[in-house]
Amino acid sequence: MNKLVIEGGVKLKGEVTISGAKNAVLPIMAASLLTDDACVIKGVPDLRDTNTMIKILRSLGKGVEFDKGIVTVTALKNTNYVADYKLVSTMRASFCVLGPLLGKLKKAKVSLPGGCVIGVRPVDLHLKGVRALGADISIESGYVLAKADKLKGAYIYLGGVYGSSVLATDNVMMAAVLANGHTIIEAAACEPEVVDLAEFLIKMGAKINGQGTPIIEIEGVGHLHGVVHTIIPDRIEAGTMMLAALITKGDILIKNVLPRHLGVLIDKLEEAGANIVKSNNSIHMRYRKPLNAVNITTLPYPGFPTDMQAQMMSLMSITPGITIITEKIYPDRFMHVSELNRMGAHIQREGPHAIVEGVKALSGAPVMASDLRASASLLLAGLAARGKTSISRIYHLERGYENIEEKLGKLGAKIWREKE
Ligand code: UD1
């Protein structure tokens, strides 16, 4: 296994180009199961997760090629309908093959994804949604078995204890596009990645309205065709780079980013005193003066993204003042707290809150990545810290950040890989 080593304290400077959004591309690749035609998906990041989805599609009978950021899913018939535990258990997003398999083949057998370090992560909303469309659901030996003679449009309230669900909205939308009649998904997730999936489905011939709002309406069609589509930029990678500029007191021009997808982060950073220059598709982050502490509460889009909580904690850990971070999506998503404290941060966890008391500086230390965004927070902390930080278990980082060492290296970071 490899670890990532960072010699901290370098001000990052230069330009960086953001890759396609991981959370958009995974369900979109799954949506290619809805047609026997070829689908061409552009701007696909080369990540562990996209490669897992390629394996899943192949295991389901699809031909898949991945070259220079373009995934081509080719037309193969007689698709297998069983998504295996070995693949699904490595990546929760693989559960979103349930909707398209059910829509296209009227049957699906998909392994339950299980929990993960950031929390329990149930799939009750996914099942509620496809059940409402007429699927008969049973759980056998760790698999969800879903069958339907035909799917019928329905009214579905999809809100849960923690609000809307991104992948449940994706799954239900993908099952409903080939159902008979009209479907209304209320309390739908509004994330830009859900909108990108809807746009992909519309290009395939689906009739969808209201994507990006809490009420999505779908009129079922009999057939979907092939499509060429470019994935939206990854707002979480872009947000991480914005914080990399601030935490290192640097100057980074971030390209291929849609600032309108980062409204709350931009607002919070401006409240903290950051200077941000936006255009339609770029963000210039230049450190000007010390920031002040700002409180954040994670919420479904357009609220503050839970996927930026850990990185924001790193920034606030060296910002003077007290920051209260409240996690309302995954109340246990605080694995990074103890690792940041090992680097000299003063952070106390109180249930779903973390109380961060800004310190003057962090000091490099050996730390362990526990999940994808926690890894990003340690990376940011390491870039800012005095001395050397080594992050082990970096396969978590490889799940979501394309060429991260190269990108940071080009900005001047002293970062390299070592064998553990
Ligand atoms: C997606 C993102 C992930 C992000 C998360 C929240 C992908 C591939 N992943 O995950 O990066 O952190 O959104 O923005 O897009 N819930 C239920 N029942 C369900 C489903 C979810 O109670 O059936 C709960 C979850 O436990 C969580 C909340 O709803 O508390 C939101 O989760 P959800 O939006 O479903 O997350 P994912 O779609 O799995």
What CATH number is associated with residue 378? 3.65.10.10
Residue pointed to by tokens 């149930």 = 122
Cα angle, residue 357 at apex, residues 353 and 362 outer, rounded to 5°: 115
Do 173 and 152 belong to one domain?
yes
- Mean pLDDT, contiguous 10-residue spans, the chain (420 residues): 94 98 98 96 96 95 96 82 90 94 96 72 93 96 94 97 96 98 98 98 98 98 97 98 98 98 98 96 96 98 98 98 97 95 98 97 95 95 98 91 96 94
Instruction: Give the model's pLDDT for residue 114.
Output: 64
The answer, yes or no, to whether any atom of ligand 1 lies below 6 A from the CB of 376, is no
Please identify, among 230, 245, 266, the residue that sits at the C-terminal boundary of a domain. 230
Asked whether 191 and 119 are in contact (CB, 8 A), the reply is no
| CA 80–ligand 1 middle distance (angstroms) | 26
**Phi, psi (5° rounding) for residue 71?**
-100, 125
Of all atoms in ligand 1, which is nearest to the CA of residue 330? 30
Q: Which residue's CA is the closest to the ligand 1 atom numbered 11?
A: 307
- Structural domain range at position 105: 22-230
Do 414 and 299 belong to one domain?
yes
pTM: 0.97
Please identify, among 230, 260, 290, the residue that sits at the C-terminal boundary of a domain. 230
Instruction: Give the model's pLDDT for residue 116.
Output: 64
Do 46 and 130 belong to one domain?
yes
Of all atoms in ligand 1, which is nearest to the CA of residue 120? 26
Do 160 and 29 belong to one domain?
yes
Instruction: Give the model's pLDDT for residue 90.
Output: 87
Do 303 and 410 belong to one domain?
yes
Asked whether 179 and 162 are in contact (CB, 8 A), the reply is no
Do 196 and 281 belong to one domain?
no
* Ligand 1 pocket: which of 22, 28, 166, 330 to mutate (most atoms within 8 A of CB): 166
Q: How many domains does the chain contain in total?
A: 2
Q: Which of 126, 228, 199 is nearest to 169 (CA)?
A: 126
Do 66 and 207 belong to one domain?
yes
| CA 165–ligand 1 middle distance (angstroms) | 5
Do 13 and 42 belong to one domain?
no
Asked whether 98 and 131 are in contact (CB, 8 A), the reply is no
The answer, yes or no, to whether any atom of ligand 1 lies below 6 A from the CB of 330, is yes
Q: Which residue's CA is the closest to the ligand 1 atom numbered 12?
A: 307
Do 275 and 347 belong to one domain?
yes
Q: Which residue's CA is the closest to the ligand 1 atom numbered 15?
A: 23
Catalytic (active-site) positions: 116
Do 371 and 412 belong to one domain?
yes
Instruction: Give the model's pLDDT for residue 278.
Output: 96
Do 141 and 78 belong to one domain?
yes
Please identify, among 205, 230, 255, the residue that sits at the C-terminal boundary of a domain. 230
Of all atoms in ligand 1, which is nearest to the CA of residue 22? 8
Sheet of 63-67: strand order equals: 63-67, 70-74, 39-42, 227-230
Do 28 and 13 belong to one domain?
no
Binding-site residue set for UDP-N-acetyl-alpha-D-glucosamine: 92, 121-125, 307, 329
Asked whether 24 and 197 are in contact (CB, 8 A), the reply is yes
